[in-house]
Structure 1
Amino acid sequence: MSKAILDVNDKPTGGQLITLSFQHMFAMFGSTILVPQLVGLSPAIALLTSGIATIIFLMITRFQVPAYLGSSFAFIAPILVASNGLNESTGKAIDPGNAMIGAVFVGLVYGVVSLIIWKSGYKWIMKLLPPIVVGPVIMVIGLGLAGVAVDMAMNITNVETGLKEYSFLHFSAALVTLFTAIICTIFFKNIISTMPILIGLVVGYLYSILIGIVDFTPVKEASLLALPDFLIPGVHYDFEVTSRILLIMVPIVIVTISEHIGHQLVLGKVVNRDYIKEPGLHRSLLGDGLGTFASALIGGPPKTTYGENIGVLAITRVYSVYVIMGAAVIAILLSFFGKGMALITTIPTAVLGGVSILLFGIIASSGLRMLVEANIDFGNSRNLVIASVILVIGIGGAKFIVTEALSVEGMALAAIVGVVLNWILPGKKEAQASGNETIE
């Protein structure tokens, strides 16, 4: 293992702090602003809350875990469903308060789970969420959004008819964006390979300017400095908790907690520490949950630790939490830059679609990778049944409707069914013998 240039608690010089912090900020920037763009929330709030959530996480983990928290892609579909979709003319969520209420409870569930782990240990959750359940659900996240990405990439809304129609010009912008991100991922092995989303967005945006599909009016009208678009419960929406909202949002923690555990294991290997034991999975989960809770209270999307920033740590061998803190502070300051935030809103939908094709595909592939790395044997009927049912229920958009106000659907239903099937189906020992069904 390579020796750290700056270890976890080493303090960088002033120059190092600024340059390395910007590096981490750029690594997370593309993905963090993409989520709110897709679900109709404020990119400025997403940046602000990513910085706040990261600082909360660092404090809860006693400044021992150099992780950055950005917008979670697992909640894109649930946020759209909870918000009743997007307004076609404004691109904003129709009822974003519903999604924020759900996100608040997601954070609370994280807190409950962390408390249980603190009291009873972490091995039970590893058994509850084995790769045969988590892998297919992660695949559902990516594949379930495939249609959204392709539609964004090649279709535009006709102003006169209000209908979607194919546009080669916009699709060309999507393809330029997509292939730029692919080139950065495949042909570069340095810091560029850790931020293909950001570079793809920049190149696709520049191409869009050249072909004349960018409208700079919002930038001209924006102030140099501006407050982000906050969403405060009791001020901007009524905090009314319903079973529908909870069933749409909360079951996704089955996926995100598994993702969190995976990131802690990978991060521990990078910095040569065991974060599951010290400061403990309960602390890192609590930090993640409180970050999501705080984000939701002011209108930001749910948070998760970012693999992009783990990649930066691995490449630079700079593990200092001071650098991560610096990136968080920069994100907070940038969120108040009105002209910059307005510029982000001018990114054509096609460009976002182009980068989403790659990103959603990578999410789906990461679920497949989990199954491969866990040596899941699909010659075993039990494994085959669990994965098959999860994929079809999740991608097919199945709904379990009890009453008009009580239903669970899509990815949430798939995750719940997967956990239940793994629990009740016989032959668990045989399935585990044919592969590695627990995250060690």
Structure 2
Amino acid sequence: MLQIAFIRENQEKVINALAKRNMDAKNIVEEVIQLDEKRRATQVELDGILSESNKLSKDIGELMKNGEKSKAAILKEKTVLLKEKSKKLAETADLLAADLSEKLYTLPNLPAAIVPNGKTPEENLNVFQEGDIPVLHKDAQPHWELVKKYDIIDFELGVKITGAGFPVYKGKGAKLQRALINYFLDKNTAAGYNEVQVPHMVNEASAYGTGQLPDKEGQMYHDKTDDLYLIPTAEVPVTNLFRDVILSENELPILTTAYTPCFRREAGSYGAHVRGLNRLHQFDKVEIVRVEHPDKSYEALDGMVDHVKSILQELKLPYRILRLCGGDMGFTASLTYDFEVFSTAQDRWLEVSSVSNFETFQANRLKLRFKDKDGKNQLAHTLNGSSLALPRVLAGILENYQTPEGILIPEVLRPYCGFDIIN
């Protein structure tokens, strides 16, 4: 969430920055400023009445002590009126504060200066590409055919048990999935990330804290009975470990990693581009989250990008890195890099990771602060990235490593799998 003080002092900057997201924010910024002015004026009036009421209470005490009960009674009547007025002002102040928060929640984060202009994914900037695209044999198939051929993932069985988008992994398919999870976690912990296991459901406050609510309410599975949400990513519970926390500066940075299943409704996702593993309602992902000093967060972002690069290099998958344009960037991010793996069998790029810096946007919602050297509380910066999301990585491996004899296993995964080929 953007800080009201920043908006108040930088109205034009906020409006111009959000224009990069193709958002005309002039009206809502003006509404936010007006609400804040009303709230502040109401609070000033309320503080004045409370101060006057406190003074009258002291005066009443002195009058009673001196036996001047009639004068004290007059002041008591006045305090009754002041209490009634202060009650109404407090209610008004609370309503204005709630309205202000609601408006602020609708404003996305400001894009960083290097975010390219653009409205669609086609306008994202390709900043890096590596790896040779393999030449496949003439009978090569997309992964949704390969998994049937080798009986390693059953989409129809998932439909029977739950519905579309909930596959069942079988035999070597299940072992390969587990191998990827363990490999990703080992890479992350070797890089200094502390592994945690977190709940797969979160409360409303947690979803608001990382920005899933109210922005992505329709994409989350919600249990109305207990008012809990199935997590769309481990980012939500992991980042909320630090909600309402004041850190000391020497505790930064904090590096955390977690494996979780992820749940997304993905409403309105249809067509050939979402076949098989390309888009699921339940999928596995290993996440990395960092809490950083504001002066070091972009250096940390570069380090996260290099870390994900090293994983894809070891898997020997052709990949590229995109700097997302303003129109394609997530609600909470200041800067995002997407990693895409090339699927030779599908002849298309598949997104496998997003690495983002949120600056203070999530921290402001979370009240995640650190005490600086002068003893003042400052908002921390938060970052997160997929390291990695499994479905499309798995699709890329199945399709790019297929041979007439079977699907070869990347060398780095063979110790985790216990086999070299799926045939």
TM-score (normalised: structure 1): 0.25
Q: Which has the higher helix share?
A: 1
TM-score (normalised: structure 2): 0.26
Whose relative contact order is higher, 1 or 2, with alpha carbons under 8 Å and at least 6 apart? 1
Structure with max Cα Rg = 2
Q: Which has the higher strand share?
A: 2
